[in-house]
Amino acid sequence: MQKYKKYIAEFIGTAILVLFGCGVAVVTGISGDPVAHTLLTSLAFGFAIIAGAYSIGKISGCHVNPAVSLAMLINGKLNIKEFCGYVVAQIAGAFAGSGLLFAILSSTNLPTNNLGANGFESYSATGLSMVGAILVELILTFVFVYVILNVTARKEQANIAGIIIAITLAFVHMLGIGLTGTSVNPARSLAPAVLLGGEVLGQVWVFIIAPLAGAAAAACTYKLLNAEYDEEKKPAKKTAKK
């Protein structure tokens, strides 16, 4: 049971992220106020990360995102077996969160044909093209993951790492919501797309490939720019006395 705790934690954390983040997106989206919709949805995703970081962070690291786990794999913080376990748990958690959201919306007079799904062209609030969506998601994920890699590598920032990550997630959502709905998380995009089907499902590949590419770029950039710094931070090895 002990070795599965981190996967259970990732399942719970991702379910909470999707339920509350996408749930607020749906509820505020019907208000007709784009400023309130963007601000409240951004904060909801950020607050969900704070809740996860300070509850399951010590168990699993609170990745709740395959893109984050991929960056950790590239930087040697996860092995391939752990990475696969994290991704499976995250996808399952996202489906649980989307399923709960659908059940809640079904008991109201709110529409159930959205679920906070991502999209481009006719499914973008600004009519963003497919190429534009790929570029946006790649950039937003790069920024988000690069910040995560930096703040989690500093022991002196451990107490505030969750807050910094949450603020960054809210920050990237503020730009991305009007463009793609903001994914930066393949699991968060896959679940509502599968439940909704149709053209939304046909577009979801962008929100899987682009965030993973952005995360890989962030991990490689981190290794390039921070390797020397991290090496300097390592304690010097003690030499044996003769």
pLDDT of residue 111: 86
User: Rounded to two decimals, what is the model's pTM?
Assistant: 0.92
Q: Which two tokens stand for residue 153?
A: 């590598």
Q: Are 42 and 121 in contact (CB under 8 A)?
A: no
**DSSP class of 156:** G
pLDDT value of residue 242: 42
Report the distance separating Cα 46 and Cα 201, nearest Å: 25
pLDDT tens for 29-53 read: 988 899 999 999 999 999 999 999 9
Closest by Cα among 18, 202, 40 to 119: 202
Residue 234: per-residue pLDDT: 57
pLDDT tens for each residue of 7-32: 999 999 999 999 999 999 999 998 88
Residues of the chain with pLDDT under 70: 1, 227-242
pLDDT for position 3: 80
- The confidence score (pLDDT) of residue 69 equals 98
Domains of the chain and any CATH numbers:
2-231 (1.20.1080.10)
